């Protein structure tokens, strides 16, 4: 069949028709265990009744109005998000890239108000912040930047989890106005920094009057066992971006700000046609209520530990496993060589996974995953990994 869709994705040979909790069902009614959640989007699983009910009820009343009018659901959602995060206010948009664009603009505005003509933001190697031109430029992956030069200026890149590199960048560049960092790198390979990494960045930002900006697009909304990952560190950033799981599949993004950062964007400084419309906000409100009602955030931490313990038990002694790491239900299994073929092998076993940074299996299962499904995930994937590493070893030796 000829496709008129731009070939921007290497699509796998499967089409899903519907979802039920942790399961996706294809055209022939085969069930696949979704251990990726649409890349950290469907934290409540597929077709959750609360989200379904909320968007059905809202769609019968009103889908959209412009942001030039008051939107009650948006006000309620902003109240909930600021309450849960400790931030002061919210700008709503449609995606993570847009949320990070807002953060970048906010940092530049902050710099200009300090009299800095060419403000710069410290960003990290192996980071991912989106695919718009500015967020692509902030991202620490040269592969996805190829072909799109000239990139947007104003970013100073340093290694992740390296405080001394941030200190040096600040000392050598008087234009630095902010630090943009993921509490846990998702696309970069589920990289978990030192326990006090964020605390030290917070201290540096306070000392030098810089904005601390956290990209929680993948790690947020309960995935790590806290509502936001930075809450493990008992700090509050100046700016925090959200998207993905906020609408459980309904597109919505948010840029949260507090203190000096909260008053920078005024009327006319930024905007979004669809951002925070009644439908998207109704879905997000249902997501937040369900997380609390079903105690899913605390469970995410416990389930992540159970999954990792299972993999450690099944894969111990396998010389090709470099590391198994997690923060809640952000889970990475790093191998000693590229392993993208595992995605298709898992698909054949009706298990949906992802490989990122070439050598790391990334698992982002729904927060609703239960004990039996965890057992199935661990046993199925462990067998796939064991068979794959045995085969590649034999091929190398022959």
Q: Which residues belong to the active site?
A: 128, 215, 244
Token pair of 260 as six digits: 């000096």
What Å distances lie between residue 92 and 39, 48, 95, 306, CA to CA?
Answer: 21, 23, 9, 35
| 330-335 β-sheet, strand order | 321-327, 330-335, 360-363, 354-356
Token pair of 158 as six digits: 């340093």
HSE-CB of 174 using CA atoms within 13 angstroms:
4
For residue 299, cis peptide bond before it (omega within 30 degrees of 0): no
Strand, helix or coil for residue 109: helix
DSSP 185: B
Strand, helix or coil for residue 76: helix
Which residues does residue 255 pair with via DSSP β-bridges, in sequence order?
91, 241
- In total, the chain counts a number of residues equal to 398
Cβ neighbours around 306 below 10 Å, total: 14
As a whole number of angstroms, the distance between CA 137 and CA 52 comes to 37
DSSP 46: B
Cβ neighbours around 20 below 10 Å, total: 12
Token pair of 249 as six digits: 């599949």
Are 212 and 238 within 8 A, CB to CB?
A: yes
């Amino acid at each position: 069949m000829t496709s008129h869709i731009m070939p921007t994705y290497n699509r796998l040979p499967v089409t899903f028709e519907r979802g039920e909790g942790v399961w996706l069902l294809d055209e022939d009614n085969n069930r696949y265990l979704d251990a990726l959640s649409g890349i950290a989007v469907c934290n409540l699983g597929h077709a959750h009744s609360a989200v379904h009910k909320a968007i059905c009820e809202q769609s019968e009343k009103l889908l959209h109005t412009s942001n030039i009018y008051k939107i009650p659901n948006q006000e309620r959602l902003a109240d909930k998000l600021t309450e849960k995060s400790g931030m002061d206010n919210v700008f709503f948009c449609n995606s993570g890239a847009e949320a990070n664009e807002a953060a970048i603009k906010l940092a530049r505005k902050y710099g200009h108000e300090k009299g800095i003509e060419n403000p710069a933001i410290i960003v990290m190697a192996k980071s991912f912040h989106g695919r718009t031109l500015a967020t692509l430029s902030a991202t620490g992956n040269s592969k996805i930047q190829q072909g799109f030069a000239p990139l947007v200026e104003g970013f100073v890149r340093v290694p992740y989890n390296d405080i001394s590199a941030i200190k040096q960048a600040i000392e050598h560049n008087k234009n630095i106005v902010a630090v943009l960092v993921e509490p846990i790198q998702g696309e970069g390979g589920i990289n978990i920094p030192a326990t006090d990494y964020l605390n030290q960045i917070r201290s540096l930002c306070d000392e030098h009057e810089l904005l601390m900006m956290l990209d929680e697009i993948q790690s947020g909304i309960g995935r790590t066992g806290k509502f936001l990952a930075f809450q493990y560190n008992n700090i509050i950033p100046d700016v925090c971006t959200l998207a993905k799981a906020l609408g459980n599949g309904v597109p919505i993004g948010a840029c949260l700000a507090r203190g000096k950062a909260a008053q920078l964007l005024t009327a006319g400084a930024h905007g979004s046609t669809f951002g925070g419309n009644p439908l998207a906000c109704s879905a997000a409100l249902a997501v937040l209520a369900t997380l609390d009602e079903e105690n899913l955030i605390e469970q995410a931490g416990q389930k992540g530990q159970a999954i990792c313990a299972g993999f450690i038990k099944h894969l111990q002694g396998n010389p090709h496993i470099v590391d198994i790491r997690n923060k809640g239900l952000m889970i990475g299994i790093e191998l000693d060589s590229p392993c993208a073929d595992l995605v298709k092998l898992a698909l054949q076993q009706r298990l949906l996974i992802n490989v990122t940074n070439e050598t790391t299996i990334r698992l982002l299962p729904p927060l609703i995953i239960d004990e039996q499904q965890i057992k199935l995930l661990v046993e199925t994937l462990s067998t796939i990994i064991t068979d794959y590493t045995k085969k590649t070893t034999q091929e190398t030796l022959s």
